[in-house]
Amino acid sequence: MKLLVSILFAVFLFFYTSALHAQERKIIQYSGIVTTVGSGFPVGYATATNLSFRNEAFAANNEGYFSFVAHVGDTIRFTSVGFDPLIVTIPEVPGDKYTANIIMQNLVTELPMVTPYPWASIEEFNIAFMNLDVSEDNIVRVRRSLSYESLAAMAAVMPRDGNEMRSINNAQSFNTMNNKVINQRYANPLLNPFAWGSLIQQITKGSQSRKSSSY
């Protein structure tokens, strides 16, 4: 029990000392502009994080300007996309304001090496690249893409969608029905004009034969 009381007293004393130290530290208005090294261009919307006080974060405007309240001795970390993080410490100043010029370094990322394929060496790739024919314009490429051979090749490998299959089925059904009607028309002798012509010729020849025999 005594050990637990001692631990609680030590924890309370630690937090009390920290709070007292924080109250004793001087509060100032920390302002400044975030720029890039060399060119001096502003770094818009950079983030300033107070690592010494609850990790409070503040954002600069589009011109790189920032301003917030902090304590003397606080550690501030500046971050932005494409730049190396920068950590600064607020120094002791005579007044209650401090203006800083934060200069950030551009972040340079080295990409991994890329090997071109299917050429066996860089020399072969350079030769093929230099001999590349780029004289064709858009009209020539469009005509080649819309040629009969290109369209036939694409139609051979491209699956048909529902609308195309329905159109094909409707065309086949119409052709089948049309052929059936035509076959029925010519299969029925009463609907065949050639059969009627042959019948009339036979009747005429029979009448002429009977007249000749009567004489």
pTM of the model: 0.44
Residues 6+ away with beta carbon under 8 Å from 196: none
pLDDT at 187: 59
Per DSSP, 106 falls in state B
DSSP-H helix ranges across 61-192? 122-130, 138-145, 148-157, 162-187
Of residues 189 and 45, the one with the higher pLDDT is 45
Q: What is the pLDDT of residues 92-103, one digit of tens each?
A: 999 899 999 999
Looking at residues 135-151, what average pLDDT do you find? 80
pLDDT at 41: 93
Q: Residue 9: in which H helix or E strand, if any?
A: helix 2-24
The matching CATH number, chosen from 3.30.365.10, 2.60.40.1120, 3.40.1160.10, 3.40.1280.10, for 2-104 is 2.60.40.1120
Per-residue pLDDT band at 86 (split at 50, 70, 90) = very high
Per-residue pLDDT band at 168 (split at 50, 70, 90) = confident
Would you say residue 79 has pLDDT above 70?
Answer: yes
How far, CA to CA in Å, does 113 sit from each of 116, 127, 148?
10, 20, 42
Q: What is the pLDDT of residues 15-70, one digit of tens each?
A: 555 554 545 678 999 999 999 998 889 999 999 999 998 999 999 999 999 999 99
Q: Residue ranges per domain, the chain?
A: 2-104, 111-195
pLDDT at 97: 94
